[in-house]
Amino acid sequence: MAGMEDDKASSSNSTPFLPKPRRLKGHTDSTSCCIASRDRPRVIVTSGEDGRVCWFDMRCKDFSQLLMDVSTEPVSSLCFKPGNEDMIYVSSGKEIKCFDVRLANREWKPLESYNYNKEEINQIACNSKSSFLAAADDGGEVKIIDIRNQCLYKTLRAGHTSICSSVQFLPWHSWEVISGGLDSTLLMWDFSKGRPNKVADFGLIDVSSNSAGQCLNPAFIHAIAVPEVDMLDKLGKVCAVARGDGVVNVINIESEMTAMKSKSSSNLRKRSQPRSKDGRSTSNVDPDQNGKKRLHLDYSSGGHTTAVSAVAFSMFGERGKFIISGGNDKLVKVWNWSSYPDAGLSESNNGILHLNINVTHKVNHLCTTPTDTDNLILCDTSKVVKVYSIT
């Protein structure tokens, strides 16, 4: 029951009491996605299984200021058009629709509509120049749509062998996107050429990790997050990965790519290298070098005990200081990761968990806002959107 909801904050260390969240109402079914405006910091937009998009102004009462019934199917993902946040892209089923919120009407007719995906879309993302839209789907493909010319630009296939759950444009490369899937692989694509480069395969058993208790849960990638352009100088070219085995990884993409290439070259050299009498290679290449650039946050660090379904970099305060994750264990974790950008898998991560929030439903999605209060937005399997103030 909603009235019995107990959203208290606690952690292994002493943490401040967290008041009960604001409860935003407007949806009639589970909420699926939320995004926060940068141009209007108090505005957030949410979507749900009810096919509805709700706009909220946090300066107003806790009811939607604008309701958009845009589909008879669940809305899986949302994104603003950078530079013009009156324009919003909405994915539902296999279709992407574009709406202009200024054309408020009882019957919402899309300005643009794209039907290039053959399977259900899981996430959409727009690049910073508002020229391309990416859509990841159940078929393991990513469609790149040229939104200026309103046509399909490229289909990224033959990379994922299962559902592609998440996709993001890389802000430091104009022609690259990164995608994660239920094949446990993280891929980087040059979408001008349609070629995938494997960044990491989390399906491989990592003997240097402490996640032995999670070995029965596949390391599926459920969500990924990358820093925004103005965070790069401080945070670097990193990616946060939410995994099905309860782990949150932060990886340096450039280092991972270099290590992957080095490992491939090493394997080629090993085949041609002379071996000692006992059959061992005489190479000095460290076989674990690919893992040393990852920050590995699991239950031993106070992390999740079941699948992590959402992850985001904080927009409030010192931007990017926190990574926030939510999971099927009905927990939201606020990680103060900024002091540990190069932490190795074997290093102690005690104290990195800043805040632990108990919620009453499984987390579907979350985002943050650039404000001092009401800065964590949570969508879960209920019809009520929760808003927390994190300090």
Domains of the chain from N-terminus onward:
23-204+221-259+292-389 (2.130.10.10)
Which token pair is 285?
Answer: 């290449």
pLDDT of 349 reads 53
pLDDT of 340 reads 67
Residue 354 burial (CB count, 10 A) = 20
Contact 281, 287 (CB under 8 A): no
pLDDT of 3 reads 38
pLDDT of 263 reads 64
Residue 123 burial (CB count, 10 A) = 25
pLDDT of 207 reads 43
pLDDT of 206 reads 55
Q: How far apart are CA 135 and CA 155, in angstroms?
A: 10
pLDDT of 217 reads 80
pLDDT of 343 reads 43
Please report which residue ranges of the chain form alpha helices under DSSP H. 232-235, 253-272
Alpha-carbon separation of residue 86 from 36, 37, 82, 182, 208 (angstroms): 12, 10, 10, 33, 47
pLDDT of 321 reads 94
Q: How far apart are CA 71 and CA 75, in angstroms?
A: 7
User: Measured at the alpha carbon of residue 134, what is the angle toward residues 106 and 87, in degrees to the nearest 5?
Assistant: 30
Which residue is listed with tokens 């107990």? 6
Query: Which residue, 256, 252, 248, 253, is CA-closest to 366?
Result: 248
pLDDT of 215 reads 52
**Gyration radius from the chain CA atoms:** 21
pLDDT of 286 reads 28
Task: Collect all residues with Cβ–Cβ distance below 8 Å to 361 and sequence separation of at least 6.
Answer: 330, 380, 381, 382
Cα torsion angle, 170, 176, 179, 184, sign: negative
Task: Collect all residues with Cβ–Cβ distance below 8 Å to 115 and sequence separation of at least 6.
Answer: 94, 95, 96
pLDDT per residue rounded down to tens, the chain (391 residues): 333 344 444 444 445 567 899 999 999 999 999 999 999 989 999 999 999 999 999 999 999 999 999 999 999 999 999 999 999 999 999 999 999 999 877 788 999 999 999 999 999 999 999 999 999 999 999 999 999 999 999 999 999 999 999 999 999 998 999 999 999 999 999 999 998 998 999 988 554 455 444 556 899 999 999 999 889 888 889 999 999 999 999 999 988 877 776 665 555 455 445 444 444 333 222 233 333 468 999 999 899 999 999 999 999 999 999 999 999 999 999 999 976 644 443 345 557 999 999 999 999 999 999 999 999 999 999 999 999 999 8
pLDDT of 318 reads 93
Cross-strand partners of 75: 92
Query: Which residue, 157, 123, 160, is CA-closest to 309?
Result: 123
